[in-house]
Chain A
Amino acid sequence: MSSETNLERLYDEHAQALFAFVLNLLRHEADTRDVLQELFIKVARHPHLLEGIKDPRGFLLRLAHNLAIDLVRRRAARDRTSEQVAAQDGVLFAATDNPDERLFAVTLAEALGELPPDQRAVVHLKLWERLTFDQIAATLDISPNTAASRYRYAIDKLRARLRPIYDEIK
């Protein structure tokens, strides 16, 4: 099997998850694309990176997280802090016809953007990648306790922020 086919297979299997994760972190579509491209270039040029990896998704999420953090730091040097990025473009959730769901999605996206990137990453991996705290800890290179506490803080903030809307549409 050619390297191009391998890369395409890897892309088909993981790009959607990586896209959502990085978009949630960066809130900027062009930056997200840059990170994905950098990630796949790295994997293509160093195929040995994936050798012996039991959980390619976890490995790629970790790589994407590191690249996204690097990009945030570079952007920060150019006065684009994560708080500013959070308010920028990059629609996070799929469009829906249900107005209640749309309102909830838009408000949740805003609330996620107000979280610190560390907490946002944990929430994303827990809710939308359905990883355990051990897996999140391995992905983000933190302890499981740290992952759990970040998640708890983040959920509390989100709940407080979304309570009026959630109670209304529940």
Chain B
Amino acid sequence: MNSDFEKRMEELAMRELPGHWKAQIVAAAQPQPAWWREWLWPCPHVWAGLAAAWGFIFLLIVATPHEPAAVGQKAPASWQSFAFLQQETEIIAQLSGDDESHRTPPPPPAATKPRSTRRVKQSVG
């Protein structure tokens, strides 16, 4: 059985819990949103608009009719592969510099104008 002294202590009221703690603590205890939600959060409407724009562009591409490629317009794939391979080999040879003979000859100089024309220009200049 409690004595008078203990009863006297019991009767003392404890200090009130600060009222503003509730909002802070409950907010802090809420589960954090997913990273992607947090990332999108600052401007979700802008992201939605961007996604809609991309969707529209995609639909536009899909809906546009493609013209069929003319038969024989392009070189056969095997010839393309061969040309590409040859070009690659030449580039490697140029870079390594070990085989001067494989260098591609310099492109032919541009067609010169007739001398008569050049003379006229020189004389004018």
A37 touching B14 in the complex, CB below 8 Å, given contacts A108-B9, A166-B5? no
Q: Is the CB of B14 within 8 A of A15?
A: no
CB of A105 closer than 8 Å to a CB of B = yes
CB of B37 closer than 8 Å to a CB of A = no
A93 touching B26 in the complex, CB below 8 Å, given contacts A36-B21, A127-B9, A166-B5? no
CB of B29 closer than 8 Å to a CB of A = yes
A94 touching B13 in the complex, CB below 8 Å, given contacts A4-B30, A44-B30, A159-B5? yes
CB of A76 closer than 8 Å to a CB of B = no
Q: Is the interface of B mostly helix, strand, loop or mixed?
A: helix
Q: Is the CB of A127 within 8 A of B30?
A: no
Q: Is the CB of A43 within 8 A of B16?
A: no
A33 touching B21 in the complex, CB below 8 Å, given contacts A4-B30, A155-B6? yes
**Complex-state Cα separation, A16 to B77, whole angstroms:** 81
CB of A158 closer than 8 Å to a CB of B = yes
- In the complex, chain B residues whose CB is within 8 Å of the CB of A93: 12-15
Kindly identify which residue among B9, B10, B12, B17 contacts A158, using a CB–CB cutoff of 8 Å.
Answer: B9
Q: Is the CB of A19 within 8 A of B17?
A: yes
CB of B24 closer than 8 Å to a CB of A = yes
CB of A131 closer than 8 Å to a CB of B = no
Q: Is the CB of A8 within 8 A of B12?
A: no
- In the complex, chain B residues whose CB is within 8 Å of the CB of A115: none
CB of A59 closer than 8 Å to a CB of B = no
Interface-centre pick from B6, B10, B17 (highest chain A CB count, 10 A): B17
CB of B76 closer than 8 Å to a CB of A = no
User: What would 6 more interface pairs be, CB under 8 Å, given A127-B6, A130-B10?
Assistant: A4-B26, A23-B15, A44-B30, A93-B13, A94-B16, A104-B8
List 18 contacting pairs A-B, 8 Å CB cutoff, sorted by A.
Answer: A4-B30, A11-B22, A11-B26, A15-B17, A20-B14, A37-B28, A40-B28, A44-B29, A91-B15, A92-B14, A92-B15, A93-B14, A95-B15, A96-B13, A105-B12, A127-B9, A128-B10, A128-B14
Q: Which residues of B approach A to under 8 Å, CB–CB?
A: 4-6, 8-10, 12-18, 21-22, 24-26, 28-31
Q: Which residues of A approach B to under 8 Å, CB–CB?
A: 3-4, 7-8, 11-12, 15-16, 19-20, 23, 29, 33, 36-37, 40-41, 43-45, 91-96, 101, 104-105, 108, 127-128, 130, 155, 158-159, 162, 166, 170
